[in-house]
Chains A and B, each alone.
Chain A
Amino acid sequence: MAFRLKLVPTETKIDFFRWQYITFGVSVAAVILSLLSVLFIGLNFGIDFKGGTTIRTESTQVVDVGAYRGALSDLGLGDVSITEVFDPSFRPDQHVAMLRIAPQEGYEAVTPEVIAQVEAALQAVDPAITFPSVESVGPKVSNELIWKALLAVFAGSAGIWIYVWLRFEWQFAVGCVAALIHDVVVTVGVFSIFQLKFDLTIVAALLTILGYSVNDTVVIFDRLRENLQKYKQMPLRDLMNLTTNETLSRTIMTATTTFLALTALIIFGGDVIRGFVFAMLFGVVIGTYSTLYVAKNIVLMLGLDRTEKTRKERAKGDHEFANIDA
């Protein structure tokens, strides 16, 4: 037998329901904690959703946050946040900082004069400073972007729900969507608790998490459906364990390859998309967890009607493309 790297042994008999009340309780607690955090701590919205201006500065001189702040304090800009950015890909003499300026009172649109003032003030402190990127979003657009983002996530969930409902039975759809909501809510919760910047790209990451999590779940459901036909007398709980163990190798395998690709991206992909990649990386982990411990549990709780009648109906009903041939 040739060498094979195996993270999961060939045959496993893990009982995924052994700790079901604990795992389920942990999931419910995480969702509640996340919701509370979003409600009471809130999210650290980027300018996409809050309006305002971000300026990226770059200089050959070391970033002096105090001096920057001093230079800007006379301008009366209100809330200005200055953070230094570190990245392994920077050159030794590359010093980068991000400035964030709150939207200016009473302006629908962006205020170019403010940007010019800020740039001039910073250049007085550090003549070598340059501004590789300046982004401004007016409050009018940012409000719309929030709604668009919410709409995207809802449309995504609804689309998946309908799809899974058509392909499987409604219990599967409920389980699948519960897992999705769990993944998205907890990811948003992590962004809230650690006050990570939440912008438009994070919404894209959330949608990707939806796609990834559902992908994982559907593969198990697909096998479960197959096994339901094969082992008609086996109790549902055992059947689910069998199915999960059969597909466990694949679940871990795919999670690992995706994890590896994203790890490369988070280390080497630069600071511009780090938040985005972090969201996806976290999503892969939690998506795998919810596949194993949330989606099926809900189907088990709801129960499946396994009588002959429904299966016949299923065979001629909404299952016409269940057995696509290559």
Chain B
Amino acid sequence: MTDTPIWKTLLVWAIVALSLAFAAPNLFYDRVEQHNDAAAAIEKAGGSATPDQAAALAQWPDWAPSGIVALGLDLRGGAHLLAEVKVADVYAARIDALWPEVRDALRDLRDQVGNVRRQPSPEGVLRVAISNPAGLQAAVEKVRTLATPVVSLTGLGSNDIEVSSDNGEIVVQLSEAERVATDQRTIQQSLEIIRRRVDEVGTREPTIQRQGEDRILIQVPGIGSAAELKTLIGTTAKLTFHPVTRVTADAGARPGPREMLLPAMDEPNTYYLVEKTPVVTGEDLTNAQPAFDQNGRPAVEFQFDPTGARKFGDYTANNIGKPFAIVLDDQVISAPVIQSHIPGGRGIITGSFTVEESTELAVLLRAGALPAEMTFLEERTIGPELGADSIRAGEVAALVATALVAAYMIASYGLFGTFAVLALAVNIAMIFAILSTLGATLTLPGIAGIVLTMGMAVDANVLIYERIREELRAGRSPGAAIDEGFGKALSAIVDSQLTGLLTAVIMFFVGTGPVRGFAVTTGIGILTSMFTAVYVTRAIVALYIGWRHPKTIIV
């Protein structure tokens, strides 16, 4: 057998040793996990550790590798949601906010355009009628000056609004470039706010990802149910403060211009007519905390930023004795009467809350409002017990599979079968080492992928051994037969494994959820099995030949 260069052999053994070291933490999963959690918590707390944390930290040495595979929702239990953000909602809000500006701009041209009136129009379109048709061109020109360039890479050079005239009316809508840019912002904001809300409740390793154009995938391990997760992230939590014009029991009351009719949150048959433009909004909040009011009922205390505080202070000073509606997501939580000027921007929201509700509302207000509503297209809840059952089943199946494959390989190839089994063990360790280092997530189909890899990984060994057998039958010496076997089988190994790798890559890019988990482990398994079957087995065989110098070998 030809000698492999020493550096090559050393490199192979070094990779094997590293793989074993990096796979090892997974054998002590609970311990390492507690160690890692404690380390993260201590770092967050700025270096000070509680006795519990110190004990958890001591369970695993700091110098040892501490990467472990993350367990997917189907193994750990948790909730999965796929939300679609209604990005178009934002267009309507933008266009509505434009109306006062347009009105003021046209007021300057009153002698040319006459009276200005907003016309009913579909959502996201602003139609303005003017009483003097001759001034239409001038009016359109004037409104165009309100446009600002779009700030985005793709929309370079275009303006945010499109102004045209139609049937004697001015039509204003968002330009295509602005829509794209707005969608982008809406999704980014939604992602950020969902992340903040999920982080507030402090769960481990949530996944919050954008998917496609307008979707967000949220996976939170350890949370009780998807419904629970939905109340946390599905609420828009848009807080606004409006002047109240009238309280009524009539659900069909017609709001006047620039007014809206909102239901009360807790009292049936009570409706408030409020001014459409809020005095202050949740965006001006800097903090919110659960608290209790003077009667000991749960409430939420809030604090405005300087701008909000000034607006709030001015308004309360000028409107003492008038009711003031606190509105959350288009429902009136309460409408207290302003007793006195409230300086400093502090306030308290009372309603018929439970302690949980007030805590949750405070969380939502702190995290900020979602820019648009969301609908849920997919939701999955997996209980932790089912996950634990799946892990157990996967472990048993993997052990039995290993035993069966090992027994069969040893029965078929004797000593060389044992070498292949050793290489297989290294292969599994390598898969776990790579998964841990990449921080990949292991799912139940992923476990199936590993078990399947065990069955298919020995294929490369089989190809090599069958080839060695043939060469031996052809009368070659052991060393030459081994060289030929490894050499000639390589083309078939590379060919056959590359196609497998190809399907794994396609599965990874096209697939979602379970398909992806499976693709990751089979893909990694194919790569590692090529390495272990060819290089590791060869290194083991070389050790054996070097040690025993056998005259004949039986494969």
A residues adjacent to B (C-beta < 8 A): 1-6, 10, 56, 58, 89, 108-110, 112, 115-116, 130-138, 140-141, 145, 148, 151-152, 155-156, 159-160, 163-164, 167, 200-201, 203-204, 207-208, 210-212, 214-216, 218-219, 222-223, 246-247, 249-250, 253-254, 256-265, 267-270, 272-273, 276-277, 280, 322-326
> Taking the complex as formed, is B511 at the interface, i.e. its CB lies under 8 A from any CB of chain A?
yes
Provide the main secondary structure of the chain A interface: helix
Give the distance in Å from the alpha carbon of A210 to the alpha carbon of B496 in the complex.
Answer: 12
Cβ contact within 8 Å between A133 and B507: no
User: Would A204 and B515 be within 8 Å (CB), given that A254-B459, A261-B454 are in contact?
Assistant: yes
> What's the least CB distance linking A4 to chain B, in Å?
6
Q: Closest 8 CB pairs between A and B?
A: A261-B455, A270-B393, A258-B455, A132-B386, A264-B401, A5-B411, A132-B383, A264-B400
> Nearest chain-A residue to B404 (Cβ)?
A260
Give the distance in Å from the alpha carbon of A277 to the alpha carbon of B456 in the complex.
Answer: 14
User: Which A residues are CB-close (under 8 A) to B378?
Assistant: 110, 136-138, 141
Cβ contact within 8 Å between B462 and A159: no
Cβ contact within 8 Å between A141 and B82: yes
User: Which B residues are CB-close (under 8 A) to A163?
Assistant: 498-499, 502
Most interface-central of A10, A116, A262, A280 (chain B CB within 10 A): A262
Cβ contact within 8 Å between B445 and A4: no
8 A-B pairs in the complex with CB atoms less than 8 angstroms apart = A89-B393, A156-B502, A208-B503, A215-B497, A250-B463, A257-B455, A261-B451, A272-B390
Q: Interface readout for B456-496 with A: 1 if CB under 8 Å, 0 if not?
A: 10110011001001100100000000000011001110111
> Taking the complex as formed, is B146 at the interface, i.e. its CB lies under 8 A from any CB of chain A?
no
Cβ contact within 8 Å between B510 and A268: no
State which of B379, B494, B513, B519 has its C-beta within 8 Å of the C-beta of A200.
B513
> Nearest chain-A residue to B227 (Cβ)?
A112
Cβ contact within 8 Å between B462 and A254: yes
Most interface-central of A201, A216, A273 (chain B CB within 10 A): A273
Cβ contact within 8 Å between A212 and B383: no
> Nearest chain-A residue to B380 (Cβ)?
A135
Cβ contact within 8 Å between A201 and B515: yes
State which of B379, B498, B503 has its C-beta within 8 Å of the C-beta of A210.
B503
Cβ contact within 8 Å between A156 and B462: no
> What's the least CB distance linking B515 to chain A, in Å?
4
Cβ contact within 8 Å between A135 and B470: no
B residues adjacent to A (C-beta < 8 A): 74, 82, 84, 225-227, 230, 375-383, 385-386, 389-390, 392-394, 396-398, 400-401, 404-405, 408-409, 411-414, 444-445, 447-448, 451-452, 454-456, 458-459, 462-463, 466, 469-470, 473, 486-487, 490-492, 494-500, 502-504, 506-507, 510-515, 518-519, 522, 534, 554
Provide the main secondary structure of the chain B interface: helix
Give the distance in Å from the alpha carbon of A326 to the alpha carbon of B538 in the complex.
Answer: 11
User: Which B residues are CB-close (under 8 A) to A272?
Assistant: 74, 386, 390, 393, 444
> What's the least CB distance linking B70 to chain A, in Å?
19
State which of B379, B445, B534, B554 has its C-beta within 8 Å of the C-beta of A204.
B445
Give the distance in Å from the alpha carbon of A254 to the alpha carbon of B503 in the complex.
Answer: 19
Q: Taking A204-B507, A324-B491 as given, write out 4 further A-B residue pairs in contact, using a Cβ cutoff of 8 Å, ordered by the A residue number.
A: A10-B469, A211-B503, A219-B492, A265-B397
User: Which A residues are CB-close (under 8 A) to B451?
Assistant: 261-262, 264-265, 269
User: Which A residues are CB-close (under 8 A) to B396?
Assistant: 89, 268-269
User: Which A residues are CB-close (under 8 A) to B383?
Assistant: 130-133
User: Would A250 and B455 be within 8 Å (CB), given that A160-B502, A269-B397 are in contact?
Assistant: no
User: Which A residues are CB-close (under 8 A) to B381?
Assistant: 131, 133-135
Cβ contact within 8 Å between A254 and B456: yes
Give the distance in Å from the alpha carbon of A215 to the alpha carbon of B503 in the complex.
Answer: 11
User: Which A residues are CB-close (under 8 A) to B513?
Assistant: 200
Give the distance in Å from the alpha carbon of A3 to the alpha carbon of B413 in the complex.
Answer: 9
State which of B230, B394, B512 has its C-beta within 8 Å of the C-beta of A270.
B394
> What's the least CB distance linking B47 to chain A, in Å?
41
State which of A140, A261, A323, A326 has its C-beta within 8 Å of the C-beta of B452.
A261
User: Which B residues are CB-close (under 8 A) to A223?
Assistant: 492
User: Which A residues are CB-close (under 8 A) to B470?
Assistant: 246
User: Would A326 and B486 be within 8 Å (CB), given that A159-B506, A204-B518, A215-B499 are in contact?
Assistant: yes
> What's the least CB distance linking A326 to chain B, in Å?
5
User: Which A residues are CB-close (under 8 A) to B389?
Assistant: 89, 270
User: Which A residues are CB-close (under 8 A) to B379?
Assistant: 110, 112, 134-136
Cβ contact within 8 Å between A6 and B404: no
State which of B375, B382, B463, B466 has its C-beta within 8 Å of the C-beta of A108.
B375
User: Which A residues are CB-close (under 8 A) to B390?
Assistant: 270, 272
State which of A110, A132, A140, A219 has its C-beta within 8 Å of the C-beta of B496.
A219
Cβ contact within 8 Å between A276 and B448: yes
Cβ contact within 8 Å between A277 and B448: yes
Give the distance in Å from the alpha carbon of A265 to the alpha carbon of B452 in the complex.
Answer: 9
> What's the least CB distance linking A180 to chain B, in Å?
10
> Nearest chain-B residue to A213 (Cβ)?
B499
User: Which A residues are CB-close (under 8 A) to B394?
Assistant: 269-270
User: Which A residues are CB-close (under 8 A) to B225?
Assistant: 134
> Nearest chain-B residue to A261 (Cβ)?
B455
Cβ contact within 8 Å between B554 and A160: no
Cβ contact within 8 Å between B499 and A260: no
User: Which A residues are CB-close (under 8 A) to B518?
Assistant: 201, 204, 208
> What's the least CB distance linking A130 to chain B, in Å?
7
User: Would A257 and B458 be within 8 Å (CB), given that A160-B502, A204-B507, A265-B401 are in contact?
Assistant: yes
Cβ contact within 8 Å between A257 and B459: yes
User: Which A residues are CB-close (under 8 A) to B393?
Assistant: 89, 268-270, 272
Give the distance in Å from the alpha carbon of A122 to the alpha carbon of B469 in the complex.
Answer: 63
> Nearest chain-A residue to B80 (Cβ)?
A135
Give the distance in Å from the alpha carbon of A5 to the alpha carbon of B417 in the complex.
Answer: 11
Give the distance in Å from the alpha carbon of A287 to the alpha carbon of B335 in the complex.
Answer: 72
Cβ contact within 8 Å between B503 and A159: yes
User: Which B residues are CB-close (under 8 A) to A211?
Assistant: 499-500, 502-504, 522
User: Which B residues are CB-close (under 8 A) to A4?
Assistant: 411-414, 554
Give the distance in Å from the alpha carbon of A259 to the alpha carbon of B456 in the complex.
Answer: 9
Cβ contact within 8 Å between B397 and A326: no
> What's the least CB distance linking A177 to chain B, in Å?
11
User: Which B residues are CB-close (under 8 A) to A5?
Assistant: 408, 411-412
User: Would A201 and B82 be within 8 Å (CB), given that A156-B503, A263-B404 are in contact?
Assistant: no
> What's the least CB distance linking A296 to chain B, in Å?
16
Give the distance in Å from the alpha carbon of A322 to the alpha carbon of B518 in the complex.
Answer: 30
User: Which A residues are CB-close (under 8 A) to B84?
Assistant: 109, 140
Cβ contact within 8 Å between A204 and B519: yes
Most interface-central of B383, B455, B456, B487 (chain A CB within 10 A): B455
Cβ contact within 8 Å between B448 and A265: yes
Most interface-central of B383, B386, B405, B499 (chain A CB within 10 A): B499
Give the distance in Å from the alpha carbon of A204 to the alpha carbon of B458 in the complex.
Answer: 22
Cβ contact within 8 Å between A258 and B456: yes
Cβ contact within 8 Å between B522 and A257: no
Give the distance in Å from the alpha carbon of A267 to the alpha carbon of B225 in the complex.
Answer: 30
User: Which B residues are CB-close (under 8 A) to A253?
Assistant: 412, 462, 466
